[in-house]
Structure formats: C-alpha cells, structure tokens
C-alpha cells in the first residue's frame, strides 16, 4: 500500500540576505505607538505609522522597517523623525517583497544538495537521504545516487534560508543619526487594495411622505497589513491618479530609490480641498483581509415625496408614427432634500441607497435601489425606484404636418389611466427639439429648460385624464 506523506519544509537555521545583517536594526509592529489610516473611495489608502525606535548615533546604519502593507507604493514613502527631525537623515531606501514560500525556497535550491527525511511510523524510525534537486517545476525531481526520482516521499530539509528571501514585506533604510536615545519615527506611504464605499437604507412610512435614513461605511482591506487601534479618516471625492504609479508587478526582488534628506455621529465631517473628510471619532482596528462596517449616519422622520414620471422621445416630433397608442413606461421616484431643516445636511458620499417599506402586516419589504452621486448639503436626492404597476399611459399622434424641410407640426393626445385607490399626479416630460412653439395645450406646462417641457397631470383614483397639445418644432 502506498503511503501519502505531507511534504513540508524544515528549516534548520537562517541567515540574512543583507551584508550588514548583523548590525541592522529591526522595527516591527510591536514598536508602533500610533497609526493613522486615510482611506479613499478609489482603492487607495494613506498610512501614517509612528514607532518608537532607538537608533545608534554617529554612523551610517541600516534600519529594517517591517510589517508594512504588501501593496505599498514604494515611491510614495516618506519618513521623518518627530523627536529630532534635524538629526535624522535617510540616505537610501530598499523595498523588499520577495516573500518566503515553499515554492521559492525550493527554487533557490535547484541544482543543489538537500536532505529528504522519511518518517516510517510502522518501524518507528526516520531515514535521511541526501539528494540533488534537479527541478521544482510542477513537482520535484531528484537525483539520488545514479537514479532520477520523480518526487519522493518525506520531508525536505534545507540547510539555511537563501539570500534575498524574507518573511514579510520590509522597508530597509541606510540612515544617518546624530542624536542619542529613542525617537518617534513617522513613516507615511500610499498603498493599494484598501477602499471604502457608502451604503444607505431608506425606510418609507405608509404614506410615502416620511422616511428613516441610515448610512453605513464598508471598508475592505486587502492591503496586506493590519492597522491596530487606528485613527481612521475617509475621503469622499474623485481624486485624480496617474495610472502609471500603480505597480502590480511583484516579480522583482527589490526596488531601490534615493530619498531626499528629511527634516451625535461617529464620523465628524469637514471640507478639505475639493473633497470631504469623514473623521471617525474613536480608534478602530482594521485587520488584513477584513471587511468592516461602521455606522455613518442616522436620520429619522425626514420629509420625502414620491413622484411618477413619463419621458417622451425626441423622434416623436419629426416623424409620423405608424403604431398608435404605444404604452409609455411610468417611472417611480422617491426624493428628499439633504438639508439641516430636513434632519440631514451632511454631505453624502456616493453609494447605493436601498429602499424599504412596511406592508399591511407591518413586514418590511424591499422596493428598489438606486445609486447616488456625491451629494452636497442642501441638494436634492432623487432615487429611481422602479416602474408603476397600476398607472397606464398611452400616446396617440392626432396630426402630423411637415411644414418645410426642417419644420414639423404635430398634435398629441396622451391618456393616463389610474387603477390605484388614490389620486396621483403624473409628470410628463416632453422633449422639444430645436426652435419650438407651443400652438395649443389643454393644461398648463412648465419649461424645464430650453428643450424640455413638463406637464403635471392630476389623475383621479380608478379614473383617467387626457392631455392634448399641439407643438411646432424646427430642427
């Protein structure tokens, strides 16, 4: 019977891949005294990591700054001493991310001798065989003595960790320091693969005139680092980025660059440049590979309104319709004002707003969703919920007359039937291309802009209303 063995890597001892490893200073997350994370809604984060580190005085030394984000953008790194900014200077920086793995460890030993250890549990003994690793491509190939083995059961034992392989992404600096004692060193950098979005829930009351609004922030951290008890800030707005800066190729062993010498709600909102910052008023921990939700806002009893709209098409006015009585889609919108007098007034980040309403048995039901853009205070939020079921709109072209090559005159009859048990107002938004003149109309209209008019038609419950108008357009 064949026995299946778990193939693992046993490391006897390790040596560093740096020439100055014996004297290099290492800083880990344990040295951290503060961390601040600013997250943008474009899969980008700004990390400010402050650590207390004791540095030698009077000579150039090497500092290994470990536990940074795997998706750090090395060209954005900036380090400074908060304790003695004029005494600490960074001369060179290396970013190492050739991370240790079983595959990479074995790749480094292709063509070299390693040991294979077989654990015989039936005979209670272990046997060690010396082999040359010929290949590590889709499985291992060994030469043992004069024979070639395609795989071999047991453990692979390596004499040491090869150079230039590390356990975690690390920033390594060559620095000069002219002061004694521990210093607070602040390192800031941009990282990809961390972002946030806003989600909202709007619950309408039975009259559709009042609503409760709650907002949630969802942070998705896949940056390759955890941020413990971090000061969190969120930036809403469209930040321009040069795409060439986003480095996704991690096949290189090392990147080097020279650095210049350095010398009521949980969120508080404030304007910043052309964006808005939402500052969480308490520390929070954001783990790597974690999705975290934090409450953004709560507003109860705000004024809302439901609206029925029908949109005409521009082509109607320059051609004779072959099909009469085409049914028109009746869209349902819910709108409210983001104003202080309406229990809101905080700039709303872009996101998806989901709408709910209680049915006759007080059970909450989902009725639709829409995406909102970044919405400043005192602006209206308009949400497209769906299409009306019980309102039917039919359009009939009563007359069509081409007066000249570029001038047309048409007459319309639009019938609206309301099968609901309440009166409704239906807004008809009609495009009026080119130079237009309203010849006649059965009820008043509003000029929305230069090329659109709006009729608001009152339709009684279980009844109908008819709108007639004649228009001349020149294109």
What is the number of domains present in the chain?
2
Q: According to the model, what pLDDT value does residue 125 have? A: 67
> Of 91, 125, 158, at which residue does a domain stop?
158
pLDDT over 70 for what percent of the chain? 84
Q: 18-26 long-range contacts, Cβ below 8 Å, gap at least 24? A: 18/62, 18/172, 20/62, 23/61, 23/62, 24/61, 24/62, 24/63, 24/64, 24/172, 25/53, 25/54, 25/55, 25/56, 25/61, 25/62, 25/63, 25/64, 26/63, 26/64, 26/66
Residue 195 maps to a domain: no
For residue 447, give the CATH number of its domain: 2.60.40
Q: What's the helix, strand, coil split of the chain in %, to 5?
A: 5, 60, 35
Q: pLDDT category, 44, cuts 50, 70, 90?
A: very high
Provide the Cα torsion 45, 46, 51, 54; round to 10°. 120
pLDDT in tens, 388-441: 999 999 999 999 999 998 899 999 999 999 999 999 999 999 998 889 999 999
Token pair listed for 451 = 């090329």
Decide if 175 contacts 91 (C-beta within 8 A).
Answer: yes
Token pair listed for 220 = 């998705």
> Of 137, 158, 179, at which residue does a domain stop?
158
First-residue to last-residue Cα distance in the chain: 87
Residue 261 maps to a domain: no
Q: According to the model, what pLDDT value does residue 131 have? A: 87
Secondary structure of residue 104 in the 3-state scheme: helix
Burial grade of 263 (CB within 10 A; 0-12, 13-18, 19 or more):
exposed
Residue 150 maps to a domain: yes
Burial grade of 104 (CB within 10 A; 0-12, 13-18, 19 or more):
middle
pLDDT in tens, 253-307: 333 333 333 334 788 877 767 678 889 999 999 999 999 999 999 999 999 999 9
Residue 129 maps to a domain: yes
Residue 349 maps to a domain: no
Phi-psi bin for 29: left (phi > 0), alpha (psi -120 to 50), beta?
A: alpha
Residue 137 maps to a domain: yes
Residue 457 maps to a domain: yes
The range of the structural domain enclosing residue 399 comes to 304-330+388-474
Residue 138 maps to a domain: yes
Alpha carbon distance 18, 8 (integer Å) = 26
> Of 158, 193, 225, at which residue does a domain stop?
158
């Amino acid at each position: 019977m064949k026995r299946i063995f778990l193939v693992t890597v046993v490391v006897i001892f390790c040596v560093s891949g740096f020439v100055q490893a014996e004297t290099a200073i290492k800083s880990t997350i344990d040295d951290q005294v503060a961390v601040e994370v600013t997250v943008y809604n474009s899969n980008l984060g700004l990390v400010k990591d402050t650590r207390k580190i004791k540095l030698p005085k009077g000579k150039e030394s090497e500092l290994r700054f470990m536990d940074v984000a795997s998706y750090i953008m090395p060209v954005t790194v900036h380090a400074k001493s908060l304790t003695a900014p004029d005494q600490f200077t960074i001369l060179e920086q290396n970013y190492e991310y050739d991370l240790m793995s079983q595959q990479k460890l074995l790749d480094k030993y292709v063509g070299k001798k390693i040991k294979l250890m077989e654990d015989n549990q039936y005979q209670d003994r272990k046997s060690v065989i010396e082999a040359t690793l010929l290949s590590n491509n889709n499985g291992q190939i060994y030469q043992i003595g004069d024979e070639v083995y395609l795989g071999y059961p047991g453990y692979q034992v390596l004499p040491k960790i090869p150079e230039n392989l590390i356990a975690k992404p690390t920033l390594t600096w060559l620095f000069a320091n002219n002061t004694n004692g521990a210093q607070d060193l602040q390192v800031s950098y941009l990282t990809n693969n961390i972002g946030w979005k806003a989600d909202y829930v709007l619950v309408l009351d039975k009259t559709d005139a009042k609503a409760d609004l709650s907002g949630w922030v969802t942070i998705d951290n896949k940056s390759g680092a955890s941020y413990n008890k971090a000061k969190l800030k969120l930036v809403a707005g469209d930040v321009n980025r040069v795409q060439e800066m986003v480095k996704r190729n991690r096949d290189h062993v090392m990147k080097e660059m020279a650095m210049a010498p350095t010398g009521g709600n949980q969120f508080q909102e404030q304007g910043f440049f052309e964006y808005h910052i939402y500052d969480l008023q308490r520390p929070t921990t954001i783990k790597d590979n974690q999705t975290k939700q934090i409450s953004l806002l709560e507003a109860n009893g705000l004024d809302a309104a439901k609206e029925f709209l029908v949109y005409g098409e521009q082509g109607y006015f320059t051609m004779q319709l072959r099909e009469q009585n085409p049914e028109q889609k009746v869209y349902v919108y819910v709108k409210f004002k983001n104003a202080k007098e309406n229990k809101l007034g905080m700039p709303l980040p872009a996101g998806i707003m989901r709408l709910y309403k209680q049915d006759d048995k007080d059970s909450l039901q989902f009725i639709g969703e829409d995406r909102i853009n970044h919405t400043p205070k005192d602006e209206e939020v308009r949400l497209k919920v769906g299409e009306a079921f019980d309102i039917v709109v039919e359009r009939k072209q009563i007359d069509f007359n081409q007066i000249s090559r570029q001038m047309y005159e048409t007459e319309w009859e639009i019938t609206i039937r309301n099968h609901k048990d309440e009166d409704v107002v239906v807004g008809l938004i009609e495009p009026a291309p080119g130079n237009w003149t309203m010849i006649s109309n059965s009820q008043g209209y509003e000029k929305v802009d230069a090329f659109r008019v709006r009729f608001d038609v009152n339709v009684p419950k279980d009844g109908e209303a008819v709108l007639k108008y004649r228009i001349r357009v020149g294109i």
